[in-house]
Chains A and B, each alone.
Chain A
Amino acid sequence: MISRKVVLHFPQKLVEQPIVFKLVKDYGLNFNILKAYVTPDEEGLMVLELSGEEAAFEKGLHYLKLCGVKIQPLSQDVVRNEQKCTDCGVCVPLCPAGALVSDQESKRIVFVEDKCIACGVCVRICPFKAMEVHF
């Protein structure tokens, strides 16, 4: 079993198709929707945690690519600008995924990229605009 968070970009022409349903039915993948919305230029954007057997997982991703869905690993999407972060920690209790934690020794704030679900709350509330989201 493997489990990975991915960002899927659905071009407008695919909006009518039950693509995620096929991932479940034909490839036996499990999914958990972390975030979904339609961007202003009418592209569908979905952040999924996908899990399943490794072979099926790869086949499923291949199917998505064939359909014309663009796939990005999630970790690329939210980045911390190290120059701007002052390690205050106001983001820590607001991160629903526990991806921003205070290191008890150094008192610095650690961004655990693997845990990030790209919800964007830190981007909105960081007083120093140190958290940036790139879709």
Chain B
Amino acid sequence: MKTIKEINEKIRKGDAVVVTAEEIIDLVEKKGIKKAAKEVDVVTTATFGPMCSSGVYFNIGHSKPRIKLGGGSCTVNDVPVYAAFGAVDVFLGATAVPDDDPRNKVFPGEFKYGGAHVIQELAGGKDVRLECSAYGTDCYPRKKLETLLNIKDMNEAVLFNMRNCYQNYNVAVNLSDKTIFTYMGMLKPNLGNANYSSAGQFSPLLKDPYYRTIGIGTRIFLGGGIGYVAWQGTQHNPCVSRGKNGIPLSGAGTLAVIGDLKQMSAEWLIGTSMAGYGVTLSVGIGVPIPVLDEEVVKRAAVTDACIYAPVVDYSRDYPQRAPRVIAEVSYAELRSGSIKVRGKSVPTGSLSSYARARKIACILKNWIEKGKFSLTEPSAALPGAESGYRVKALNERLYKKE
């Protein structure tokens, strides 16, 4: 048994033994859980993939004379931002696209540029164009503002993801006879390909399936800088069915994360264009797992072969919210390049980059080894597998139109 305090003491001295979520697998294979738990202090997990529910809020500083953007309208590089706050606070969402973007009018739309691309440019230190109009008040008389803006001149620029790090996810296929364009990529007809989106054995919540060490307040690697788990993510759904090893058999827990965009880099926050679907942001996240005891090691050493994902049809079942699961496949099978579905060999593609997850886990490992990053005790636990906390679907109710 080790405590986080003891591990932090080791980190401070530069003595902590840190391994990645992949390295712990080999170590346990060679030396067993008992020995690995003794030797290792921290396991670093990571993921890099598209996360639509991402955004940035920033405070641009007061102009002279003053303007109140709240209740007015505002764009950054022609991408609309949400300005319904105080005078100079705005929120830029990853999936926003310029008003004149053709979207899906010529199908499939390209979605070349949107909020996520602006976020990447801001993180990369590029100037962006801000255009605002407001209604004017006695205290904020100005009605128009057009200026270049740079992240270094902003008061605060904060990345906030309301849902991230999905604990497991669907494998998308197309059972229809037409090609479809989805947030899971282009899916060829009649089981032409199968796309998945999880870092599998690298993914934070798959390596701490009961949220024992990851909780509200956990310090993390976020977009190349330091961030924190702010809350459970939206659609957090911990009570789904789980395998014998405790790992959910479908999408389950999620995290809401927050961090200083000024510390982040354009390498780990990347504007992403899904043909026919829209713009999204690919976000790099790394989460450390403190090795408190053998139980933690046992969970963290789970391999792709023991993590199963549901195969779901995105031509009809997903859009119509039909709960059907066509097959269950392991991430080891997915990573082999093809899976068997209904007797057919289907080639697989991934939206989440395993190579990048590996790189993030190595960076975080390095930060901890060098004493630059210490671990946190969660302030509160995430709603767990026995909590009864569940995702709900929308129950539509009609209302009278006046």
Establish whether residues B275 and A93, one from each chain, have CB atoms under 8 Å apart when the complex forms: no
Establish whether residues B350 and A127, one from each chain, have CB atoms under 8 Å apart when the complex forms: no
Query: Complex formed: what's the CA distance from A81 to B106 in Å?
Result: 26
Q: Which of A37-45, A68-76, A100-108 makes up part of the contact surface?
A: A100-108
CB neighbours (8 Å) of B273 from chain A are 127-129
Query: Complex formed: what's the CA distance from A91 to B275 in Å?
Result: 12
Q: Which of B48, B112, B349 contacts A90 (CB 8 A)?
A: B349
**Mostly helix, strand, loop or mixed at chain B's interface?**
strand
Chain A: CB-nearest residue to B354: A107
Query: Complex formed: what's the CA distance from A90 to B274 in Å?
Result: 11
| Residues of chain A from 69 to 96 with CB closer than 8 A to chain B in the complex | 86-94
Establish whether residues B272 and A127, one from each chain, have CB atoms under 8 Å apart when the complex forms: yes
Establish whether residues A102 and B337, one from each chain, have CB atoms under 8 Å apart when the complex forms: yes
Q: Which of B188, B351, B353, B356 contacts A94 (CB 8 A)?
A: B188
Number of A-B contacts (CB under 8 A): 71
Establish whether residues A93 and B355, one from each chain, have CB atoms under 8 Å apart when the complex forms: no
Most buried by B among A87, A91, A127: A127
Given the interface pairs A86-B270, A86-B282, the reply to whether A91 lies near B353 with Cβ below 8 Å is no
CB neighbours (8 Å) of A124 from chain B are 186, 275
Establish whether residues B349 and A91, one from each chain, have CB atoms under 8 Å apart when the complex forms: yes
Establish whether residues B351 and A127, one from each chain, have CB atoms under 8 Å apart when the complex forms: yes
What's the nearest-Cβ distance from chain B to residue A48, in Å? 25
Establish whether residues A106 and B274, one from each chain, have CB atoms under 8 Å apart when the complex forms: no
CB neighbours (8 Å) of A91 from chain B are 349
Chain A: CB-nearest residue to B184: A90
The answer to the question of A24 belonging to the interface, with a C-beta cut-off of 8 Å to chain B, is no
Establish whether residues B347 and A93, one from each chain, have CB atoms under 8 Å apart when the complex forms: yes
Query: Complex formed: what's the CA distance from A88 to B350 in Å?
Result: 6
**Chain A residues with a Cβ under 8 A of chain B:** 86-94, 102, 106-109, 124-125, 127-129
18 contacts between A and B (CB under 8 A): A86-B282, A87-B354, A87-B356, A88-B351, A88-B353, A89-B353, A89-B354, A90-B185, A93-B188, A93-B192, A93-B195, A94-B186, A94-B349, A107-B354, A108-B355, A127-B280, A127-B282, A127-B351
**Chain B residues with a Cβ under 8 A of chain A:** 48-50, 112, 185-186, 188, 192-195, 270, 272-275, 280, 282, 335, 337, 346-356, 358
10 additional contacts, CB 8 Å, given A88-B352, A94-B193? A86-B270, A86-B353, A90-B349, A92-B349, A93-B194, A93-B347, A93-B348, A107-B354, A127-B274, A128-B282
